[in-house]
């Protein structure tokens, strides 16, 4: 059975962000992930993790102006300095907390550039160059940089949406500490055939996430039979965590029946 990490950005939202770590620990999680830890200082975050004996396994680089609809900077021409600053900021948090996986969100394709091959090509070049530089900055610290295909229903216009494209980018960048964050929820919506996708790509996957499809709720609901995929991950030798990046239908703790059952296996 894989190890699981509670995503404290989507789970435990009945608590203030700083209190979600304790709630996850109380439910039995020994690892967490989040979208953005920047509400806390690096020292406060690290202290909270130590006190609760939690491991932070993943968080995202600063994505730009989230409230205004920005969803990352890595593929945006003209924003290279901001992206580089986001890498340095995340590195401060990673070094303090011991986190070894950082996700760089690509960003949105501007509406005017959607059908413009030249504009998309410029974004691709920017993406590759930014990822290569960031991976080289992070490598001496033992940190792996991740990119994630995100479905276009939840995030219309996102630059990266398919697994093979992500792995092609990783190959083009050519840095050993760049891998793909495979969210089975997004992959099911865009491509399906999750077992095939795992078998095909697992060697290049640095982190796995999950949620029920549709609805992005607990993984014991919807069209995906996760127990079979958990067994497959074990058979494929995946040793990382599976991030529980879902929105509970009701209270987080009340919806953890799947988690308690998995722990007994």
Tokens, residue 246? 């879902």
User: Which of 14, 172, 175, 245 is an active site residue?
Assistant: 245
Amino acid 80: pLDDT: 98
DSSP string for residues in 91-160: HHHHHHHT--EEE--B-BPPGGGTT-HHHHHHHHHHHHHHHHHHHHHHGGGT-EEEE----TTTSTTBS-
Quick one: pLDDT at residue 5?
A: 98
**3-state secondary structure (DSSP) of residue 192:** coil
C-alpha to C-alpha distances, 250 to 150, 192, 214, 226, nearest whole angstrom: 25, 27, 16, 20
Determine the pLDDT at residue 6.
98
- Per-residue pLDDT at 260: 84
Global model pTM greater than 0.85: yes
Alpha-carbon distance values, 162 to 112, 144, 148, 153, 190 (Å)? 22, 20, 9, 13, 7
Give the pLDDT confidence score for residue 262 in this predicted structure. Answer: 78
**Torsion angle, alpha carbons of 215, 217, 222, 227, to 10:** 150
Candidates 14, 70, 148, 175; catalytic one:
148
pLDDT at residue 114 in the model? 55
Three-state DSSP class for 178? strand
Provide the 10 A C-beta neighbour count for residue 71.
Answer: 18
Cis, bond preceding 187 (omega within 30 deg of 0): no
Looking at residue 159, what is its pLDDT? Answer: 96
> What are the pLDDT tens digits along the chain (265 aa)?
899 999 999 999 999 999 999 999 999 999 999 999 999 999 999 999 999 999 999 999 999 999 999 999 999 999 999 999 999 999 999 999 999 999 999 999 987 655 677 788 999 999 999 999 999 999 999 999 999 999 999 999 999 999 999 999 999 999 999 999 999 999 999 999 999 999 999 999 999 999 999 999 999 989 999 999 999 999 999 999 999 999 999 989 999 999 888 776 6
Active site residue 82: no
pLDDT at 124 (0 to 100): 96
- Provide the residue count of the chain: 265
Q: Tell me if residue 245 is catalytic.
A: yes
Domains defined along the chain, listed by start: 3-264 (3.20.20.150)
Closest CA to 203 of 163, 237, 165, 166: 237
């Amino acid at each position: 059975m894989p190890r699981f990490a509670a995503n404290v950005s989507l789970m435990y939202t009945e608590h203030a962000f700083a209190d979600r770590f304790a709630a996850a620990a109380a439910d039995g999680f020994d690892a967490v992930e989040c979208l953005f830890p920047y509400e806390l200082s690096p020292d406060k975050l690290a202290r909270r993790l130590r006190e609760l004996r939690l491991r932070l396994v993943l968080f995202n680089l600063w994505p730009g102006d989230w409230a205004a609809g920005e969803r990352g900077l890595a593929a945006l021409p003209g924003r290279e300095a901001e992206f580089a600053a986001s890498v340095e900021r995340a590195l401060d948090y990673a070094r303090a907390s011991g986190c070894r996986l950082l996700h760089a969100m690509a960003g949105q394709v501007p509406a005017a550039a959607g059908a413009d091959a030249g504009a998309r090509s410029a974004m691709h070049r920017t993406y590759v160059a930014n990822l290569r530089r960031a991976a080289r900055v992070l490598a001496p610290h033992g940190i792996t940089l991740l990119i994630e295909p995100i479905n276009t229903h939840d995030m219309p216009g996102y630059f990266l949406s398919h697994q093979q494209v992500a792995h092609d980018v990783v190959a083009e960048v050519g840095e050993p500490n760049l891998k793909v964050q495979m969210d089975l929820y997004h992959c099911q919506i865009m491509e399906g055939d999750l077992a095939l996708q795992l078998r095909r790509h697992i060697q290049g996957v640095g982190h796995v996430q999950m949620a029920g499809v549709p609805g992005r709720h607990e993984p014991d609901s919807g069209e995906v039979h996760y127990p079979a995929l958990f067994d497959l991950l074990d058979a494929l030798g995946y040793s990382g965590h599976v991030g529980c990046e879902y929105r509970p239908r009701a209270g987080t703790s009340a919806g953890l029946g799947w988690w308690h059952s998995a722990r007994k296996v």
